[in-house]
Chain A
């Protein structure tokens, strides 16, 4: 893709994918000018701590930044922060920005990420109802997390449960309302869901499953003070966090006529259907060679892998994205590490002890390991990464046998 006439590469978005791309281009000594345009006021930063140790006040803002801001400047990379891209003009390869200026591009990378899914029910615009996406959201939530206050979390996924753990540690009374029949149903099997349920319950969290929210109640100041459930039940609240997932941010791409399908469609080299436009991270539906199908993934690992792939593509190295996805979460003393996608499994194998809080669930499909969820069992995660990548066929008897070392399976 390198062409002497091509001068400016613009990255739209300033999240984990954009930040990793900046670094990868810097490390590869990319010869062209790079401009990142981001609506956020911060340089690229880590989002995972926003629901964990940053929320708990254990780390400061500067430590969230992927890089000290000076490094971009030194490398000649320009960060335009607090600026929104209003429109992509593919005809003359230019962008219209929120400050009314125009920015020409030769290569464009969409790293627009996602936005939170809103809950649209009665009272959903009341004061005291929070969403968590950026640093400011966490700052606003943290200010309200005072010991003794009642926090109701709508959604028992990664973010909801991580916030539940952080808030509980801070002495906040937490209720988690999950509409499905078990926690983290979309991403894990019942063993992990049940383990997390027990963990949160024993920490004092009131976890309610099958609890669909149909409205919010208000005090006379217009602040939320309760949640109404579909079964007629009510839960009192001082603060509400809605964490029910994200929606890929595809508006710019769609308006520009790029192929989208619940995500900007890209190939294994992160290329869209416009040869001058790449897309990376949460906003994409990518062709993953590992699964040999189009996939949308919301995770740091996907963002960084796609960013590195895009850097290679921009350098004409063409390294396809072919690694299995992985995820992690920390809640209380639980270190959860996951690799692969377990949805299509036909068999689950448990290794280790749930009681001792050190176990792993191996998910098999037609005898092959397709995913592993490890709880306080890093070696199972690391071995799992290899087993999944190599599509190893291992029997349930072997996987569950404590006398056979996991390492010997590689």
Chain B
């Protein structure tokens, strides 16, 4: 158990509880955080769970996969620390992490 803080584009904060192993997309979706659609359910097929991880936490989210990189490369609000939420499996080390949500999903 830990917490992840999702910050909407309009600065609304959502403090969520998570069990390690869940993906960032699933945590956001389970908590009905607006701005994360996750339409394909986590199959890295739709690109609608774009998130921007805070700089200091980015390393902890692991490597960006090839398919993920291709999807992200076409996302207009792409940042250096962008991830697709469905590709980030949470670990204990992510307790307290803040994640920024873009204005739009693809």
Contacts and interface: CB of A to CB of B under 8 A. Distances in A.
B79 interface: no
Interface in B27-82: 29-32, 34, 37, 39-41, 43-47, 67, 70-71, 73-75
Contacts of A385: 106
Contacts of B73: 379, 382, 407
Contacts of B32: 23, 26-27, 67, 71, 75
A401 B105 CA distance: 29
B40 A48 contact: yes
A83 interface: no
Given A304-B37, A328-B43, A385-B106, A67 B74 contact: no
A335 interface: yes
Nearest to B74: A382
A119 interface: no
Interface in A161-197: none
A378 B30 contact: no
A46 B30 CA distance: 13
Q: Which of A68, A335, A379, A410 has the most CB of B within 10 A?
A: A379
A67 B39 contact: no
A71 B67 CA distance: 32
A14 interface: no
A379 B74 contact: yes
A335 B67 contact: yes
A320 interface: no
Contact of A68 (B30, B40, B44): B30
Interface residues of B, number: 22
Given A335-B67, A382-B71, A66 B43 contact: no
B99 to A, nearest CB: 18
A9 B100 CA distance: 33
A407 B74 contact: yes
Contact of B71 (A23, A301, A304, A378): A378
Contacts of A377: 70
A71 B30 contact: yes
A335 B34 contact: no
Contact of B70 (A71, A328, A379, A410): A379
A304 B41 CA distance: 12
Nearest to A376: B67
Given A379-B73, A382-B70, A328 B30 contact: no
A246 B61 CA distance: 41
Nearest to A329: B45
Contact of B39 (A26, A304, A330, A379): A304
A300 interface: yes
A49 interface: yes
A376 B32 CA distance: 30
A46 B41 contact: yes
B33 to A, nearest CB: 9
B83 to A, nearest CB: 15
B30 A67 contact: yes
B40 A328 contact: yes
Nearest to A385: B106
Contacts of B46: 301, 326, 328
A57 B19 CA distance: 21
A385 to B, nearest CB: 7
A97 interface: no
B24 to A, nearest CB: 15
A284 interface: no
Nearest to A374: B70
Nearest to A45: B41
A204 B27 CA distance: 38
A46 B70 CA distance: 25
Given A66-B29, A328-B40, A383-B74, 19 more contacts: A27-B32, A27-B34, A46-B41, A67-B30, A68-B30, A71-B31, A300-B41, A301-B39, A304-B39, A326-B46, A328-B45, A330-B43, A335-B44, A378-B67, A378-B71, A379-B71, A379-B74, A382-B70, A382-B75
6 contacts: A26-B32, A71-B31, A300-B39, A330-B43, A378-B71, A385-B106
